[in-house]
Chains A and B, each alone.
Chain A
Amino acid sequence: MSIDLSIITNYGPQLLLGFWMTIKIVVGAIILGMPFGLVLALGRRSRLAIIRFFATSFIEVFRNTPFIIQVFMLFYVLPFYGLHLPAEYVGVVALAAFGSAYFAEVIRGGIDAVAKGQLESARATGMSDWQAMRYIILPQTLPIILPAMTNQTLSLVKESAILSTITVGELTMAAITVQGETFRPFEAFIMVALLYWALNETLAIIMRRVERKVSRRTSSSSRAKVVRAAPAATEG
C-alpha cells in the first residue's frame, strides 16, 4: 500500500479544523473539570453527610461506567427532559464530568498524603477548615498530584475521540469523514494519530516544566514526599 500524499494537502485543512475542535473541547473540559474535581474531593471530606454522599456517588458513577455510555446519556437522554444542547457543549460537559471524577480521586490522594499534623497545626492557629486547605494543605498537595494530574489530562485527550460518536466535529470525526470521502483509511488515520500524539507530547512537556517549577519552589523533603506519594496518587 503506497501513501498518497495528496490526501494530506487536500484534506489537511479539514483535519486541522477537527484538531482545533479537539483542543477547544479538551481545554474546556480541563477548565471545568479540574475545579469541579477539587470541589468533589473537598465534598468527600465535608462535615455534612449529604454532601459526602453526593460527591462519593458522583465519583463512583463516573469512574465505574463506560465513557461512551455517559456521553450517550447526556446526548440522547437530556433532550427528553427538554434540554437541547449542541453536540460540542454536550461533549465538553461529558468530558469534564468524566475527568472531574478522576481528578477528584487524584486530589483526594494528594490531600491524604500531606501529614495530618499539617492540618492540625493550621487549625490550632484558628484557621477555618477551608483556610487551612487553601493556605496550608493544597499548596503542599500540588507538587504531589501534578504527575498524576498530567496522566489524567493526557487520557482526557484520548477519550475525547469518543465524542465523534455524537457527531462532534473533532479530530476523529474529521478523520472518519476524510476516510469516507477518499477511501484511504491509512493516510487519514495515521495523520490523526500523529496529531493526537503531538498534542499529548506538547502537553506532557508543558506539565513537566510546571512540575519542575513547582518542585523547585518547595523544599527537599516535600520533594521526597512527591516520590513517596506518587504511586498512591496515580492509582485509580
Chain B
Amino acid sequence: MAAGSETKHNFLEMTEIRKSFGDMTVLHDVSLSVSQGEVICIIGPSGCGKSTFLRTANWLTPADGGEVRLAGELVGGVPDARSVSTQTKELNALRARVGMVFQNFNVWPHLSVLENVVCPQMVVAKRRRGEAEKQALAALAEVGLDDKKSEWPDNLSGGQKQRLAIARVLAMDPVLVLMDEPTSALDPELVSGVLNVLKRLAQKGMTMIIVTHELGFASSVADRVVFMEEGRIVEEGAPDVILQTPKTERLKLFLEKLNITAFKPNSDSAGHPTMDSGS
C-alpha cells in the first residue's frame, strides 16, 4: 500500500543492473524503481534471475554493471569511485537499514530466539542491551513469537523460524525489506502464518520487494507485480492487470503453468497460487 501523500518516488533506484556468472549473463541491464511504501512482488520461472536481482539490491551479490541507490545514497555501482574501505563502511551502514529474509531462514542456531533478534541491534546498530531487548520483544510479539523467546531456533517449526528471521529484520527498523521466496521452504500448512505477517507489514506501509510464487498473496498485497524471464523484466504493473490480463505470450504461459500445478485454483485463503485477486 503506497503511503499516500508521503510517497517518495525513486526511493530505491536500481539502474541497468548487469550480472554474469562465467560466460552466462544472468541479468541483462535490469532497472527497477521503487517508491517508499510500495510492495513489489517479483515472479518468474526458475533460474530467470529473480534471486540474483534481489541480492544486488543490497549488494550481497555485487553487480558487474549498473548501480543501486537507496534514498539517493549509493549502495553499490560499477564503476565505483569510492575507496574499498569507504565502500565497505557505507555499504554496511546502508545494510543496517535494509532487511533481508532468505528462503531457508538463516536463523542463527547458536543463539536463542531472543538473542537472534538482539545480536544485530547491539553489534550493528550499537544499541544497549536493555533497549535492544525491548525492541526485540516488540518485534517478536509482532510476528507472534513472544512466548518462544527463550527457545533455541532448532526447536522451532519452519514457519516459526521464518517469522523469527522477520523479527530479526524488523527490530532494526528497516526502511526496506528484501525477501527471497520467504514461504517456499515451508510445509503448506505453515505458509499462511508467514504470509499474514507479511500482509500486516504491507498494511503498515513497509517498503518491500518479495520474490514469490504465491500469486494469491501477490495479487492481494502487491502494489506492483514484476514478471522476469531470462534475466529481463518482461512485464510489470498492477497485480490485477498483470495476473488477469497478461500482454505477453511468455507471461500467459507462465501463469497457465502455475495454474495447472496450483493446489486449489480458486482457493480463498492466501498461500495457494490462485488468480483470485478478490477478498
Q: Which residues of A contact B (CB under 8 A)?
A: 47, 115, 117-118, 120-128, 131, 135-136, 139-140, 217-222
8 Å CB contact of B92 from A115, A120, A128: A128
Give Cα distance in the complex from A194 to B155, angstroms. Answer: 46
Q: Which residues of A contact B88 (CB under 8 A)?
A: 128
If the complex has contacts A120-B102, A121-B100, are A222 and B109 also in contact, measured as CB distance less than 8 A? yes
Which residues in window 111-164 of B have CB below 8 A to A?
Answer: 119-120, 123-124, 152-155
Give Cα distance in the complex from A140 to B109, angstroms. Answer: 8
Which residues in window 64-106 of B have CB below 8 A to A?
Answer: 84, 88, 92-100, 102, 104, 106
Contact of B168 with A by CB under 8 A? yes
Give Cα distance in the complex from A112 to B214, angstroms. Answer: 34
Pair A126/B109 contact, Cβ less than 8 Å: no
Pair A126/B96 contact, Cβ less than 8 Å: yes
Give Cα distance in the complex from A74 to B69, angstroms. Answer: 55
Q: Which residues of B contact A222 (CB under 8 A)?
A: 109-110, 154
Give Cα distance in the complex from A135 to B96, angstroms. Answer: 16
Pair A127/B106 contact, Cβ less than 8 Å: no
Give Cα distance in the complex from A126 to B75, angstroms. Answer: 12
Contact of B172 with A by CB under 8 A? yes
Contact of B108 with A by CB under 8 A? yes
Give Cα distance in the complex from A123 to B102, angstroms. Answer: 13
5 cross-chain CB contacts under 8 A? A121-B100, A121-B102, A140-B108, A219-B110, A219-B154
Pair B110/A120 contact, Cβ less than 8 Å: no
Q: Which 4 A-B pairs have the closest CB atoms?
A: A126-B96, A121-B106, A219-B154, A126-B95
Q: Which residues of A contact B58 (CB under 8 A)?
A: 124
* Interface residues of B, dominant DSSP: mixed
Q: Which residues of A contact B234 (CB under 8 A)?
A: none
| Nearest neighbor of A128 in chain B, beta-carbon distance | B92
Q: Which residues of B contact A47 (CB under 8 A)?
A: 84
Give Cα distance in the complex from A222 to B120, angstroms. Answer: 21
* Interface residues of A, dominant DSSP: helix
| Nearest neighbor of B152 in chain A, beta-carbon distance | A219
Pair B110/A117 contact, Cβ less than 8 Å: no
Pair A219/B155 contact, Cβ less than 8 Å: yes
8 Å CB contact of A126 from B92, B102, B107: B92
Contact of B238 with A by CB under 8 A? no
Give Cα distance in the complex from A27 to B191, angstroms. Answer: 54
Contact of B241 with A by CB under 8 A? no
| Nearest neighbor of A214 in chain B, beta-carbon distance | B110
How many contacts A-B (CB < 8 Å)? 77
Give Cα distance in the complex from A120 to B123, angstroms. Answer: 16
Besides the known contacts A123-B60, A127-B124, A140-B108, 17 further A-B residue pairs in the complex with CB atoms under 8 A apart: A117-B104, A118-B106, A120-B106, A121-B102, A124-B95, A124-B99, A125-B95, A125-B120, A125-B168, A126-B124, A128-B88, A131-B123, A135-B123, A139-B110, A219-B153, A219-B154, A220-B155
Q: Which residues of B contact A221 (CB under 8 A)?
A: 109, 154
Give Cα distance in the complex from A120 to B97, angstroms. Answer: 16
Give Cα distance in the complex from A217 to B112, angstroms. Answer: 10
Q: Which residues of A contact B95 (CB under 8 A)?
A: 123-126
Pair A124/B100 contact, Cβ less than 8 Å: yes
Pair A117/B102 contact, Cβ less than 8 Å: yes
Minimum CB–CB distance from A158 to chain B (whole Å) comes to 33
Pair A135/B100 contact, Cβ less than 8 Å: no
| Nearest neighbor of A48 in chain B, beta-carbon distance | B84
| Nearest neighbor of A224 in chain B, beta-carbon distance | B154
Pair A140/B106 contact, Cβ less than 8 Å: no
Give Cα distance in the complex from A217 to B154, angstroms. Answer: 12
Give Cα distance in the complex from A140 to B152, angstroms. Answer: 14
Minimum CB–CB distance from B230 to chain A (whole Å) comes to 25
Q: Which residues of B contact A126 (CB under 8 A)?
A: 92-97, 120, 124, 172
Q: Which residues of B contact A131 (CB under 8 A)?
A: 123-124
Give Cα distance in the complex from A208 to B53, angstroms. Answer: 47
Minimum CB–CB distance from A229 to chain B (whole Å) comes to 14
Q: Which residues of A contact B168 (CB under 8 A)?
A: 125
Give Cα distance in the complex from A220 to B95, angstroms. Answer: 31
Minimum CB–CB distance from B1 to chain A (whole Å) comes to 25
Q: Which residues of A contact B92 (CB under 8 A)?
A: 126-128
Q: Which residues of A contact B84 (CB under 8 A)?
A: 47
If the complex has contacts A127-B123, A135-B119, A219-B155, are A121 and B108 also in contact, measured as CB distance less than 8 A? yes
Give Cα distance in the complex from A43 to B88, angstroms. Answer: 18
Give Cα distance in the complex from A221 to B98, angstroms. Answer: 29
Give Cα distance in the complex from A136 to B98, angstroms. Answer: 19
Pair B110/A127 contact, Cβ less than 8 Å: no
